[in-house]
Chain A
Amino acid sequence: MIKEFKLPDIGEGLQEAEVVNWFVRNGDSINENDAIAEIQTDKAVVEITSPYGGVVHQLGGEEGESVKVGKTLISVETAIENKENEESKESIVNKEVSQPSASKPRVKAAPSVRKLARELGVPIHEVTPTGRGGKVIASDIRSFTTTVEEEKSKDPEPPKGLQSEPIKGLRKKIFENMTLSMSEIPQCSGMDEVDVSRLSEFRLSLKSETQSGSLTHLPFIVKAVALAIKQNPRFNGKVDAENMLFRYQENIHIGIATATEDGLLVPVVKDADKMTVEEIAFAIEDLSARARSKKLKPYELSGSTFTISNTGKEGGFYATPIINPPEVAILGVHAIKQKPVVKNEEIRIGCVMGLSITFDHRVIDGDHCGQFMRALKEYLERPELFAFKG
């Protein structure tokens, strides 16, 4: 009999996932638990195994296509057993009513607007809502059809020299997440510079002591942030707007925004405050390497309580990072430049790094931000504190 394997929610309320790679073709024989496909989830590529052994009957989509959670990923012809029972069950479930699709996000719209959308053949979940509270209103449906009409009536030849590409996969997730962040959170950025001359020397002095490939500044920064958070736990909170609650979180899990070919991923260093700098260094190396090869597990990409965005050497000296919801702050760390530093009425050349912090101004005030940055700078300017306080 033919058994269908429906794409499960493999993490965090996944709604659909792109098939990156099929390992099997129609007619292939497979065993139970054989890997059948690689799936791009919101955050990582995950290998899916088959719960049935048998002959592959049909694949649920082409490579590059998205499969919705709850829809058939693969159907497998298995040995005949319980045929009658299964069939009668199937027929009751599938023939009587069409299954509700769990995959499309709920759209807020009045029944008359839904009717209008159906009449005009407009996919209502693709319409940009302009009504109060994110509601799709009748004019949105009409302008959607107008846009489609306009696009249809346009010259099908794209202008020379210009190409377009679909916003999909990871880019689409980033797109949505950033829109959500900027539309829901009133954000404010603070900037400062920190003299990391001693930290740089300290780092070089420790390089030979570690097995870590290249001991960068980042593990020190992660540790410093974790310690600054310990002193300022507000920065490790999250907003529960529905219940009007600000929740303090016990564990300090630092997300590290990492550039990959497809876009930004945020692997998470869990319990960074309890790790040594060297342990953090190993963790970052491992996570970034696997992020770039898309081999991170969903749990390694979730659960951060605070995010650090490292813009690196090319990233300029300041930026305005955007908060990774539902977190309440994000730290941007930037290029280290040689700059004149004034101390004790003397000018010397120092290694200076730009810091930018963006915070949720609903729950964090400028004063809180100042205290957090002062603590952070203290650690970065006096690395011996890692040994003393960490």
Chain B
Amino acid sequence: MTEMNMVEAINFTLKQEMEADDDILLLGEDIGKNGGVFRTTETLVETFGERRVVDTPLAESAIVGTAVGMAIRGLKPVAEIQFLGFIYETMDQISAQAARVRFRSAGSLHVPLVIRAPYSGGVKTPELHSDSLEALFMHSAGLKVIMPSTPRDAKGLLCAAINDPDPVLFFEPLKLYRGVREEVEEERFTIEIGKANVVKEGDDITLISWGAAMAETKKAVQLLEDSNFSIELIDLRTIVPLDEEIIVHSVEKTGRCVIVHEAVKSAGVGAEISAIINEKALFYLSAPVLRVTGFDSPYPVATVENDWIPNVNRIVNQIKQVWELSLN
């Protein structure tokens, strides 16, 4: 076991997997000599050379397009998009190509591609550097979407993603890159894609979150635990496939649910979860499912971003609201 932050865990995993499998290669802007803007690929070019750690031109669609071709022909590319907000350039390569190849070829071709991209706000980045866009990919059938919130989860899930036969989007919360350190196993291990983590069991309210929003959500749980609320906290870890079983089981137990995510509210992943609860656990509900989310606007300028991102107060208020709604 070694203590790592998320950047270190990702770097460690990439190195470990590349050592284990020569077909794995990395593509991205400034990922070679520069080691990536967040140092997630630091030293890898020295270890594996420029044929396996490819510094690309500043052209996101080319990065992903090339990676899709490589994956179809048997390599295991891990492409980096410098910030998730730049992924719009690659929507065609991802949603119209990578996501469909297996379906279109009736299973004879696969796209074992991983696309890594940092996202999330709270670090005062300029425009298009903070957007949470997971819902776009949830809506494109054929993709898997992973959003870890801890260094250990990042390692286990990235290992699973690289070895998955289908395209996986791996979104890394910028704010948590260096915010948390924890003990992580050095040996290879995987965390099953599509399996949520019940961070804490409780009886009163199910609180569901993932990725960057987990930080504030955990603070809210701490506050409410002190006032005797028994909260069950679920870290989804994977947005697609969604762990419906854990969600439904938990709501059946608590009868109340609040979802916290940083992305905008309308047609967000929270809406999907709410609909699933409606379909599968309606008769266990004591109150409507509530959401704490970003607002339906473009991600704002740095000076007001802390008011835009779901914060502890907003989360606590909604939890109290769902509690009150259920009592009277």
Contacts and interface: CB of A to CB of B under 8 A. Distances in A.
Nearest to B255: A112
In the A-B complex, the 8 residue pairs with the smallest Cβ-Cβ separation, listed nearest first, are A115-B283, A132-B328, A112-B286, A131-B328, A110-B286, A111-B283, A111-B285, A111-B282
B283 A112 contact: yes
A137 B284 contact: no
24 contacts: A110-B285, A110-B286, A110-B287, A110-B326, A111-B282, A111-B283, A111-B284, A111-B285, A111-B286, A112-B255, A112-B283, A112-B284, A112-B285, A112-B286, A113-B286, A114-B283, A115-B283, A115-B284, A131-B328, A132-B328, A135-B328, A137-B327, A137-B328, A138-B286
Contacts of B328: 131-132, 135, 137
Contacts of B283: 111-112, 114-115
Interface string A126-154: 00000110010110000000000000000
Interface string B307-328: 0000000000000000000111
Interface of B: 255, 282-287, 326-328
Contacts of A113: 286
Interface in A109-123: 110-115
A362 to B, nearest CB: 24
Contacts of A138: 286
Nearest to A131: B328
Contacts of B327: 137
A115 B283 CA distance: 6
Interface string A16-36: 000000000000000000000
Contacts of B255: 112
Chain A interface residue number, banded: 10 to 19
A18 to B, nearest CB: 34
Contacts of A115: 283-284
A132 B282 CA distance: 21
B276 to A, nearest CB: 15
Contacts of B285: 110-112
B38 to A, nearest CB: 45
Contacts of B287: 110
A114 B255 CA distance: 13
Contacts of B284: 111-112, 115
B101 to A, nearest CB: 42
Contacts of B326: 110
B299 to A, nearest CB: 35
B145 to A, nearest CB: 30
B196 to A, nearest CB: 23
Highest count of chain B CB atoms <10 Å: which of A111, A135, A137, A138: A111
A12 B67 CA distance: 69
Contacts of B282: 111
Nearest to A137: B328
A312 to B, nearest CB: 44
A345 to B, nearest CB: 62
Nearest to A132: B328
Contacts of A132: 328
A232 to B, nearest CB: 41
B248 to A, nearest CB: 14
Interface string A319-346: 0000000000000000000000000000
A132 B326 CA distance: 10
A131 B282 CA distance: 20
A142 to B, nearest CB: 14
Contacts of A111: 282-286
A294 B326 CA distance: 46
A374 B283 CA distance: 59
Nearest to B324: A132
Contacts of A112: 255, 283-286
A138 B255 CA distance: 12
B229 to A, nearest CB: 18
A115 B282 CA distance: 10
A10 to B, nearest CB: 36
Given A111-B283, A112-B255, A114-B283, 8 more contacts: A110-B285, A110-B286, A111-B286, A112-B285, A115-B283, A131-B328, A132-B328, A137-B327
